[in-house]
Structure formats: structure tokens, C-alpha cells
């Protein structure tokens, strides 16, 4: 079974367990953790080994859709979807992806950044 690494989204509010990150063995079909099992603060999955992650990380329907939009060059669609999904799942990788897609769509995201402060 693959090992996944998780880290606190907000280091200031987290406990020792998740602040510096921790690893956990999960089955591939298990959904990613969104909250620290100890302090219940939001965490995200750390993408530390691309080969493992690409194969091991479950691809959701939403992610497939995002990928489709990206392939078709519909950056704003992809960004909005990634953005929504990131909010829902607290996944840092999707948040970064949304930002990149917004950039490609030509958005001015000075405003967008503030949303996450
Ligand atoms: Zn914690």
C-alpha cells in the first residue's frame, strides 16, 4: 500500500503532528485526508514523489474534468473547477493548479490571492 505524506495547511494553527508533516499508509481507494487526525485542522497531501503520486493518487471525476478543460485550453473553466474543488477538499495542489489556470486564462489574481489570507 502506498505511503502518503500530509502537511498542515496553516502551520500556525496546527499541532506538532502535522506542522512539519507526517506520513500515513493508505489504500489507493481511500479518499485523501483533509484534516489532521490529532488537531482536526486542515491538511493537504504533499506531492513528494511524482511517480508514486501520479499512480497512487486517486483521480476524482472533477480532476478528470479539469484535465479535459486544460487540454481544450479552457483555462478559466479549469481554474474555476480546480478552485471550487480546492475549497472543498482543502487540497493545496488543486489550489496551485487553479492559480496557474487563472494565470493562463489571463486573470488578474491580486484579488484572488487575498481570498486565501
Ligand atoms: Zn495536527
CA of 74 to the centre of ligand 1 (A): 37
Q: What is the pLDDT of residue 83?
A: 94
Same domain, 87 and 101: yes
In the chain, how many domains are there?
2
**pLDDT at site 61:** 87
Q: What is the pLDDT of residue 53?
A: 44
- Residues 63 and 117 placed together within one structural domain of the fold: yes
Q: Which domain holds residue 1?
A: 1-57
Position 3 scores a pLDDT of: 83
Burial profile 30-55: b = 16 or more Cβ within 10 angstroms, e = fewer: eebbeebeebebbbbbbeeeeeebee
Q: Can you tell me the distance from the alpha carbon of 102 to that of 96, in angstroms, rounded to the nearest whole number?
A: 10
In terms of domains, do 116 and 66 share one? yes
If DSSP codes are grouped into helix, strand and coil, which group holds residue 96? Answer: helix
Please report, in tens digits, the pLDDT of each residue of the chain (117 residues total).
678 899 999 988 899 999 999 999 888 788 889 999 999 999 999 875 444 444 445 678 899 999 999 999 999 999 999 999 999 888 899 999 999 999 999 876 555 555 554
| 50/73 same-domain check | no
Ligand 1 (single-atom ion) residues, CB below 5 Å: 14-15, 17-18, 36, 38-39
Supply the pLDDT for residue 29.
84
Amino acid at each position: 500500500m502506498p505511503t502518503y505524506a500530509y502537511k498542515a495547511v496553516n502551520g500556525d494553527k496546527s499541532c506538532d503532528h502535522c506542522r512539519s508533516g507526517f506520513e500515513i499508509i493508505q489504500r489507493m481507494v481511500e479518499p485523501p485526508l483533509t484534516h489532521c487526525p490529532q488537531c482536526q485542522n486542515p491538511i493537504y497531501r504533499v506531492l513528494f514523489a511524482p511517480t508514486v503520486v501520479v499512480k497512487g493518487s486517486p483521480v476524482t471525476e472533477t480532476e478528470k474534468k479539469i484535465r479535459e478543460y486544460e487540454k481544450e485550453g479552457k483555462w478559466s473553466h479549469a481554474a474555476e473547477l480546480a478552485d471550487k474543488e480546492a475549497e472543498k477538499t482543502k487540497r493545496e495542489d488543486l489550489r496551485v493548479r487553479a492559480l496557474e489556470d487563472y494565470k493562463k486564462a489571463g486573470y488578474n489574481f491580486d484579488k484572488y490571492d487575498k481570498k486565501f489570507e
